[in-house]
């Protein structure tokens, strides 16, 4: 047990040092499809069966191996506008705020973005969308919580020992931007397909807690590329199936997720549904999902079951995650829903 604790402490120390000298990976959710504005800004205002929506996400990671786990939270919202002013199209506007706490306040990241997208119908059965978001990222590090490899005395990390690491910018803020494209195809009222591609950190801002970079080191953020494809298939009046795939890469890291979920209608009016799904993140985790829909509110829960070698440290418990979404219609419809482009249980 003591040997394992020492190993975990050393791993944590090395991870923090890597964050200081390199680039931490971006905030991410297993339920990427329930964080639409960060997945692709072209999703802003792409709300097939509503006019506006609000959402929140919460992720708790590495609880078994850290006294204070990594926590990621977000709130977001978007809406359709100018639908009566643009022929066969509309605009989407929205915004998102994210926060990530790594450990006991050691590293904190706060991000705030505004999003804009333009949606244009192409004939009667397809839609093309382009969007962007822009905002600011703030990252802070609490140096009093840090211990470095040269403070390891052979048995323990001693914060009283001197260190060669000097952090002279523990609080940094920079501008960030993302662009994206979406294409949707809906040949019948029982099926639609959607694919998108986006690029984060277009401007490649400098991200470092040091005022100057070591020789040969580039502290600019690498661009992150995200692609996804999903579908909704109305198998019957009771069941909708949603298969999907997701891939992202950033510098030397990448992630691929495949899976599906199904919605089962409990009432004829579609106001009550249960959700079940299963996903696989390649080489990392199996992700079961459960949830429900009640009227215009959807709540889903996922659990990351670690399948990589990290399972020897976290016991297979990688993370759990909640996503809450609420959507609605403008008063101009007086309660009458407009026709949906996607399969829906709603009449």
Q: How confident is the model at residue 157 (pLDDT cuts 50, 70, 90)?
A: confident
Question: Domain for residue 272, yes or no?
Answer: yes
Question: Domain for residue 221, yes or no?
Answer: no
* pLDDT at residue 21 greater than cutoff 50: no
What is the tally of structural domains in the chain? Answer: 1
Q: Nearest CA to 170 among 204, 136, 144?
A: 144
Question: Domain for residue 64, yes or no?
Answer: yes
pLDDT at residue 344, as a whole number: 57
DSSP line for 147-209: --GGGB-SSSB-TTS--S---S-SEEEEEEEEEEEEEEEEEETTEEEEEEEEEE-TT--B--S
- With H, G, I as helix, E, B as strand and everything else as coil, classify residue 5: helix
Mean pLDDT of 188-203: 95
Question: Domain for residue 71, yes or no?
Answer: yes
Q: How confident is the model at residue 335 (pLDDT cuts 50, 70, 90)?
A: very low
Question: Domain for residue 85, yes or no?
Answer: yes
* pLDDT at residue 22 greater than cutoff 60: no
Question: Domain for residue 14, yes or no?
Answer: no
Q: What are the structure tokens assigned to 116, written together? A: 């804009």
Lowest mean pLDDT among 46-60, 147-161, 244-258: 147-161
Q: How confident is the model at residue 333 (pLDDT cuts 50, 70, 90)?
A: low
Angle at alpha carbon of residue 165, lines to 163 and 167, rounded to 5°: 130
Q: Using CA atoms, how far apart are residues 282 and 308, in angstroms rounded to an integer? A: 9
Q: How confident is the model at residue 343 (pLDDT cuts 50, 70, 90)?
A: low
Task: Report which of residues 75 and 156 the model is more confident about.
Answer: 75
**Residue 24, Cβ neighbours under 10 Å: how many?**
17
Q: What are the structure tokens assigned to 53, written together? A: 């929506």
Give the domain CATH number at 313. 2.40.160.40
Mean pLDDT of 212-221: 81
Q: How confident is the model at residue 307 (pLDDT cuts 50, 70, 90)?
A: very high
Question: Domain for residue 8, yes or no?
Answer: no
Q: How confident is the model at residue 181 (pLDDT cuts 50, 70, 90)?
A: very high
Q: What are the structure tokens assigned to 72, written together? A: 């990621």
* pLDDT at residue 143 greater than cutoff 50: yes
Question: Domain for residue 9, yes or no?
Answer: no
pLDDT at residue 227, as a whole number: 98
Q: Are strands 171-188 and 126-141 parallel, antiparallel or unpaired?
A: antiparallel
* pLDDT at residue 246 greater than cutoff 60: yes
The whole-chain average pLDDT of the chain stands at 86
Domain range spanning residue 36? Answer: 30-142+169-215+226-333
């Amino acid at each position: 047990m003591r040997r394992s604790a020492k190993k975990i402490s050393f791993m944590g120390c090395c991870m923090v040092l890597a964050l200081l000298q390199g680039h931490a990976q971006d905030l991410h959710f297993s339920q990427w499809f329930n964080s639409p504005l960060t997945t692709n800004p072209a999703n802003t205002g792409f709300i097939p069966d509503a006019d506006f929506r609000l959402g929140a996400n919460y992720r708790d990671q590495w609880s078994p191996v850290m006294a204070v786990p990594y926590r990621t939270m977000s709130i977001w919202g978007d809406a359709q506008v100018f639908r009566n002013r643009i022929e066969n199209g509309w605009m989407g506007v929205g915004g998102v705020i994210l926060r990530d706490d790594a450990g006991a306040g050691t590293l904190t990241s706060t991000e705030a973005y505004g999003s804009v997208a333009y949606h244009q119908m192409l004939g009667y059965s397809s839609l093309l969308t382009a969007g962007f978001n822009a905002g600011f990222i703030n990252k802070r590090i609490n140096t009093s919580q840090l211990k470095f490899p040269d403070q390891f005395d052979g048995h323990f990390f001693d914060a009283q020992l001197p260190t060669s690491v000097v952090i002279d910018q523990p609080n940094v803020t920079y501008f960030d931007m993302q662009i994206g494209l979406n294409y949707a195809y809906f040949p019948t009222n029982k099926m639609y397909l959607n694919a998108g591609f986006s690029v984060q950190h277009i401007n490649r801002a400098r991200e470092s807690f040091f005022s100057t970079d070591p020789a040969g080191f580039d502290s600019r953020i690498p661009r992150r590329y995200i692609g996804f494809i999903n579908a909704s298939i109305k198998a019957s009046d009771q069941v909708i199936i949603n298969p999907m795939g997701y891939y992202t890469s950033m510098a030397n890291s990448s992630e691929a997720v495949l899976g599906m979920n199904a919605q089962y209608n409990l009432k004829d009016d579609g106001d009550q549904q249960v959700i079940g799904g299963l996903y696989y993140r390649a080489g990392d985790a199996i992700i079961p999902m459960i949830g429900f829909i009640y009227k215009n509110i959807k709540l889903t829960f996922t659990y990351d079951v670690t399948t990589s070698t990290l399972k020897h440290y976290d016991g297979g418990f990688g993370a759990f995650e909640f996503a809450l979404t609420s959507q609605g219609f403008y008063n101009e419809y007086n309660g009458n829903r407009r026709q949906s482009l996607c399969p829906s249980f709603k009449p």
